[in-house]
Amino acid sequence: MASAASTPAQPKGATGVLVLADGSVIWGKGFGATGDAVGEVCFNTSMTGYQEVMTDPSYAGQIVTFTFPHIGNVGANPEDIESQVEGAVGCVVREEVTAASNFRSQETFTQWLVENGKIGLSGVDTRALTRRIRLSGAPNAVIAHEPSGEFDLDTLLAKAQGWPGLEGMDLAKVVTRDAQEAWTGSYWQLGHGYGEAGQDGRPHVIAIDYGAKDNIFRNLVKAGAKVTVVPARTSLEDVLALEPAGVFLSNGPGDPAATGEYAVPVIKGLLERDVPLFGICLGHQMLALAAGAKTVKMFQGHRGANHPVQRVGEGWGETTGLVEITSMNHGFAVDADTLPPEVEQTHVSLFDGSNCGISIKGKQAFGVQYHPEASPGPQDSFYLFEKFVGMLG
Catalytic residues: 281, 371, 373
Does residue 39 contact residue 61 with C-beta atoms inside 8 Å?
yes
Cβ atoms of 130 and 139 within 8 Å: the answer is: no
Residue type, 153: L
Query: What are the residues whose beta carbons fall under 8 Å from the beta carbon of 17, sequence distance 6 or more?
Result: 10, 25, 26, 27, 28, 30, 121, 143, 144, 151, 153, 156
Sign of the Cα torsion 308, 314, 315, 316 reads positive
**Three-class SS state of 119:** strand
Q: Judge contact between 171 and 254, C-beta under 8 A.
A: yes
Q: Let me know: does 343 contact 386? Beta carbons within 8 Å.
A: no
3-state secondary structure at position 382: coil
Residues in the chain: 393
Give the span between the Cα atoms of 352 and 335, in whole angstroms. Answer: 13
Q: φ, ψ for residue 185 (rounded to 5)?
A: -65, 140
